[in-house]
Amino acid sequence: MAQFDRQWKQYPANKKAGSAAQDGISALGALAYDSVYVMESAFNSLLQQKPHMFRYGGGKRGGLVACDMSGDERQKPWEHGAAIAKALRSVKIKGLTGDIRYEIAKWSPST
């Protein structure tokens, strides 16, 4: 947090929105920063293991990723979805809001 705070104070005030120009980053801004940091950490981990994972033709289907939800392909899960979910669960970082890690809830139907 200290490093981010120093960099934030050095950032030109005319490029900061609203009260953040004087007061610093808001709680919502810190949470947004941390959420992007979690995604970045997960994707960096995936790309270190498989550098060509998301490139054209790098997947099982070979081709560009499309968001067309019509036709026969609409019910097929994305081939990288499970790997991304696993990478997100393995993230352990120190964010602006504190330590961030995935914890499996201890849930039982009888409770």
**Tell me, what's the pLDDT at 64?**
55
Contacts 24+ apart (CB under 8 A), 26-29: 27/97
The CATH fold of domain 2-101 = Rossmann fold (3.40.50)
State how far the Cα of 77 lies from the Cα of 9, in Å rounded to an integer: 44
Output 85 or 71, whichever has higher pLDDT.
Answer: 85
Closest CA to 25 of 39, 11, 36: 11
pTM as predicted: 0.64
Q: Is 89 a residue whose pLDDT tops 80?
A: yes
